[in-house]
Structure 1
């Protein structure tokens, strides 16, 4: 049954997926709301741009699912919330799962659920909580036939990067991706490596589980398009970008540019003409 929902996520022509993540408000962090203050307008703009999926929380999924018609992006439902994104780690850290996770996913007609697997310097207990969350979620995902996207995130030290910048170390990414696969992920949402040319090793580590690459912090149009092209050439099955879309002055244009690369094999220069 999971394949039915995977068919809604992955484009039939390219067998790839572009998921726009707009779940940042879940994490109670100053600065995360830039570009997404008015979620009704944001979701409407993204639906008009027509990515394959939009990643939302329970509280915001209604803005997508209330839109009438069959031809709209699929819902990827964020299932966990954490407090580990500031410049300093709080004394008490957590990564908590929403209750009745899969029943709520069914009620909202989600095509996929997304759960974190953090590796944070100085916070091993949060990693343990993430593993527990995934272990509880896995049998529910299998029972209800909803794909489980695991998001292995290797943090730089919080004081250096504020807890939300990509650590592009190949070895650390590979080990955490492998753990996500061992825990039963149906889809992997992983960091990009600093050296894009070695990303095929991350894809190989996933052992056939589709790898979608997260975007990280906001960069120039050419940089994000060149990175995307390199990652796709290395075997990535798609992308999950947030700030590089929602903080862009033309969210629809950058979405269509990225969709052209992901599904049509457009070059960087060809994609730039769509922005």
Structure 2
């Protein structure tokens, strides 16, 4: 790994080689949903919650102050109004992200989708550009398509994660498989560090805390969770609680106390 990537990764990962990332790229896909209507307001709350990095599209990156947190710029996009919503296309270049001060860039690939071939070709191209310019690449690798019956099944999640690593990504974001035992097989078979996605809004904050705790036990390098953080009643406290689990080895019960949840 070149010096540029090494230095930038240190801005995303703490000395424990773990990270708390909050993606807020949802505005392109689903519009200005609850929690991200005012991007500076939610960013300030997350910074107060000690997140390590935020992930946004280029237009938002230009308009917000992240106050020392890591910046990941999303390169892929597609709205849910499209007839082919799973076909992510490149909407920002690596060089443009660098001009914005990005510490990393991200590409979204849906494995099993109709346009998987185009997305994989794009991942390979961006990976090469990231090597040239010394910027880390986070690949969001999701099993999604007509052959995928369960997007959280071990076999398809492990396959998706491995594809991302094989094609040059420095960090893999993918679905949690539902158990420590199964997700351990994902992390052990993926050469790149794996962070878990948050997925749909959970029933309770405790569910998010437990999933994060279990994923770390399985070898995850942290999390990249959006809606279950920025749509929480108090984004700052859940960010602090998640950070405590990730970086301070807090138990779920200890994290709940940070959130003010009574046992």
Q: What is the aligned partner in structure 2 of residue 142 from structure 1?
A: 131
Other structure's SS at 1:124 match: coil
Alpha-carbon displacement from aligned partner over 1:223-251 (angstroms, at most 9, x marks no partner): 11111111101110010000010110000
Q: What is the aligned partner in structure 1 of residue 83 from structure 2?
A: 90
Q: What is the aligned partner in structure 2 of residue 191 from structure 1?
A: 175
Pick closer, same or farther for the CA change 1:256–1:156 going to 2, 3 Å. Answer: farther
In structure 2, how many angstroms separate the alpha carbons of the residues matched to 1:228 and 1:93? 26
Structure 1 residue 210 corresponds to structure 2 residue 210? no
Partners of 1:152 and 1:180 within 8 A in 2: yes
Structure 1 residue 23 corresponds to structure 2 residue 25? yes
Pick closer, same or farther for the CA change 1:93–1:48 going to 2, 3 Å. Answer: closer
Structure 1 residue 56 corresponds to structure 2 residue 59? no
Q: CA deviation at 1:94?
A: 3.5
Q: Say how many residue pairs are matched.
A: 253
What pairs up with 1:221-260 in 2 under 5 angstroms? 221-260=205-244
Q: Which stretches in structure 2 are left out of the alignment for 5+ residues? A: none
Alpha-carbon displacement from aligned partner over 1:3-39 (angstroms, at most 9, x marks no partner): 0000111012x21000001110022x26x61211111
Q: CA deviation at 1:81?
A: 0.4
Which of 80, 86, 105 in structure 1 is aligned with 2:97?
Answer: 105
Partners of 2:180 and 2:217 within 8 A in 1: no
Q: What is the aligned partner in structure 2 of residue 163 from structure 1?
A: none
What pairs up with 1:175-186 in 2 under 5 angstroms? 175-186=159-170
Pick closer, same or farther for the CA change 1:93–1:154 going to 2, 3 Å. Answer: closer
Q: CA deviation at 1:221?
A: 1.5
In structure 2, how many angstroms separate the alpha carbons of the residues matched to 1:196 and 1:62? 39
In structure 1, how many angstroms separate the alpha carbons of the residues matched to 2:127 and 2:190? 17
User: TM-score if structure 1 supplies the norm length?
Assistant: 0.86
In structure 1, how many angstroms separate the alpha carbons of the residues matched to 2:100 and 2:86? 29
Alpha-carbon displacement from aligned partner over 1:82-123 (angstroms, at most 9, x marks no partner): 24x46xx71686321124x11111111111111011025xx4
Other structure's SS at 2:168 match: coil
Partners of 1:18 and 1:259 within 8 A in 2: yes
Q: CA deviation at 1:195?
A: 2.7
Q: CA deviation at 1:63?
A: 3.8
Q: What is the aligned partner in structure 2 of residue 73 from structure 1?
A: 69
Pick closer, same or farther for the CA change 1:235–1:128 going to 2, 3 Å. Answer: same
Other structure's SS at 1:137 match: helix
Partners of 1:43 and 1:63 within 8 A in 2: no
Q: What is the aligned partner in structure 2 of residue 155 from structure 1?
A: 144
Q: Which runs of 4+ in 1 moved over 2 A?
A: 91-94, 194-197
Partners of 1:54 and 1:73 within 8 A in 2: yes
What pairs up with 1:34-53 in 2 under 5 angstroms? 34-53=34-53
Over the residues paired in the alignment, what is the CA RMSD in angstroms?
Answer: 2.0
